[in-house]
Chains A and B, each alone.
Chain A
Amino acid sequence: MRREVPLLITFITGVVFALSYFIPGGWLGQTERVFGDWITIVQAFAVWLGVLNLLKISLIKIQRKEHDWGYSVVIAVCLVGTIAAGMYSGFAPQFESFRDPETPFNFIFRNIFAPLGATMFAILAFYVASASYRAFRARNREATILLIASFFVMGGRVPLLDSIFMPIIDGTFFADFAGWIMSYPVTAGQRAIAIGIALGIMASSLRVILGIERSHIGGGN
């Protein structure tokens, strides 16, 4: 029971959803949207598991006074505090929605969540630089090609190479060249990857549907 039922469920849903691609009518014609709706609802349930787990781990750390337990206090307080602020903002009658600009939830979003996210994203600028310094070295033919392509696109996308070579080559030669690289060789590479992915997804989905690959239900053979 514990093993066969999940396998059967996977098989049936897999086949039905695959067939639905060819059927325009009824709910089968809209499986993508319907499934999307279901998933969002399941996520709303499942997030309890995650959040309770996060809280549990933090509380255990605090209780055992493990190394750096103080930060677990911060996590727990911020988690509970944000949820409380969100619930208050969502249910208090003076707000239309929990996202209203005046709600405490929105205050947290604007002044804590957003700057943290933006900064974490911005850190990438530094990493992009250090990764190029280290990795883009002409160690062999492949690496050299990688290096050259990135050099021309990096220099062409902003008016950098064009302005350096302004006295020799007029106009937007490097910008155009960067564009040319993006529209032809890059298209080719991406297309090969895309077609490979299509076949990879097809074969691994078949393995899942046929029950050959069953790790998601905790199953070997």
Chain B
Amino acid sequence: MNVRRPLCLLFAVFAIVGLSRAQDGDGADTASAEIIAEAAPVISPLPVPSVTASDVPNDDGSAILVEWELSPSDSVGGAVVGYRIYRAFADSGVFVVIGNRSARQNSTVNGEEVEPGVDYLYRVDVLAVRTNADGSSDTLAIPSQSSVPVAAVVQWFNTDRLWALIWFVIIAAATIYFIEKAKRGGNIYVRKIGGIDAVDDAIGRATEMGRKVFFVPGIQDMNDVQTIAGIAILGRVGAVAAEYETRLEVPTSRSMVMVTARETLKESYSKAGRPDSFQEDQVYYLTDEQFAYAAAVDGRIVRERPATIFYMGAFFAESLILSETGNAAGAIQIAGTAEPTQLPFFVAACDYTLLGEELFAASAYLSREPRQLGSLKGQDFGKGIFLLAILLGVILATANLIDLSQYFRIN
């Protein structure tokens, strides 16, 4: 055995070299290729010694992990080119190919057409190139023993995500605590944020100039949290605009956003005591297409020359198309988005930009309502925990003591 393995290897290398040279098809080389092929005896690679299959944990019972020991013949430069994985229903025993893996790989996940609770058998064939005495070659498949039957299981709690639950509960509980505390009274300090403080003045400016205010709620639908945040801000902006009797216009690129924005504004106007000033046509749909929407809003910006433009929500490439036009039209622009790729463009073209988290905080700020402000305190608590964790984690990792990241990394 000790001698055989290196010998096998050597022959396999010869066989491969001979094969590849023979394939070149050069007349001069054929002779030597023949000699090598003749010298190499027909050898069969060894099968996979064992195959184990197990349920993939923490899933909906739709995947099985198949692992095997590498064939002893599978070594660098060896004749083994890969493995072919077969599966059979335990009750029928008929094996069907489910996939291939290349040499030196020893596992695969069977994630397709797996029913939970059904027993399966797995088998792994070694695929190897065999060189025949006449110099030709073919691919051999040497089957393994089948694995013991295994069934996928549905889990009801994903234990991989336990730490996510723990951290979430801690921060959420703190947030709710601060909300309750704020409700009972108690002064909550929030620092100045330029972009948010500027809202009133920006609308006031439009009133003085007798021009419109535009509010652009992004180009995503209501299933984006940023749009929801943008609409919440629209509620506050709408109340101020109603109070100042400034015409506010909301072009949307999504029908559902149009509907929601109308509901929101209607309420804002009636809360400001001016329900009659609200007209449905203030909020209108243009088109779902990103660039057509940008083209149309651009056109409106140059024609109507609004004094103030808000961009609040999810923005993509149109961010600069809109804000550059607004800038050239002389509007005061306040933007807010959590799309990191677009922040630089708003920063370059707008007077004020709410960065990521500030977009989500803005409506709470503008409401000045204790419960809303309390939730901001909860956000800060979360940041405090993360800061502490990062600091500790880095120190402990540098000192090579404990890897804290394992409590934060979630699959």
Q: Consider the complex of A and B and state whether they touch directly, i.e. have CB atoms less than 8 Å apart.
A: yes
Contact flags B252-272 to A (C-beta < 8 A → 1, else 0) = 101110111001101110010
Chain A residues whose C-beta falls within 8 Å of the C-beta of B228 in the assembled complex:
204, 208, 216
Is B281 an interface residue, CB under 8 A from the partner? Answer: yes
Q: Are A200 and B361 in contact (CB under 8 A)?
A: yes
Interface of B is mostly: helix
Q: Are A135 and B360 in contact (CB under 8 A)?
A: no
Which single residue of chain A is at the shortest CB-CB distance from B158? Answer: A24
Q: Among A23, A51, A54, A203, point to the contact of B175 (Cβ < 8 A).
A: A203
Interface of A is mostly: helix
Chain B residues whose C-beta falls within 8 Å of the C-beta of A46 in the assembled complex:
254-256, 259
Interface-lining segment among A86-94, A122-130, A162-170? A122-130
Beyond A135-B349, A193-B356, whether A204 also contacts B232 by CB under 8 A is yes
Shortest beta-carbon distance from B349 to chain A in Å: 5
Please measure, in the bound complex, the distance between the C-alpha atom of A25 and the C-alpha atom of B294, giving whole angstroms: 42
Interface-lining segment among A35-43, A98-106, A174-182? A35-43
Q: Among B156, B252, B372, point to the contact of A212 (Cβ < 8 A).
A: B372
Which single residue of chain A is at the shortest CB-CB distance from B343? Answer: A193
Q: Are A199 and B349 in contact (CB under 8 A)?
A: no
Considering only residues 188-221 of chain A, those with a C-beta below 8 Å from chain B are 190, 193-197, 199-208, 210, 212-213, 215-221
For the complex with contacts A204-B363, A220-B235, 7 further pairs of A-B residues with Cβ separation under 8 Å are A25-B61, A43-B255, A50-B285, A120-B321, A127-B321, A127-B325, A203-B379
Binding site for B on A (CB under 8 A): 21-26, 29-30, 35, 39, 42-43, 46-51, 53-54, 57, 113, 116-117, 120-121, 123-124, 127-128, 130-132, 134-136, 146, 190, 193-197, 199-208, 210, 212-213, 215-221
Binding site for A on B (CB under 8 A): 58-61, 154-158, 161, 164-165, 168, 171-172, 175-176, 179, 221-223, 225, 228-229, 231-232, 234-235, 252, 254-256, 258-260, 263-264, 266-268, 271, 281, 284-292, 294-295, 317, 320-321, 324-325, 327, 338, 340, 343, 345, 347-349, 355-361, 363-364, 369, 371-372, 375-376, 378-379, 382-383, 386
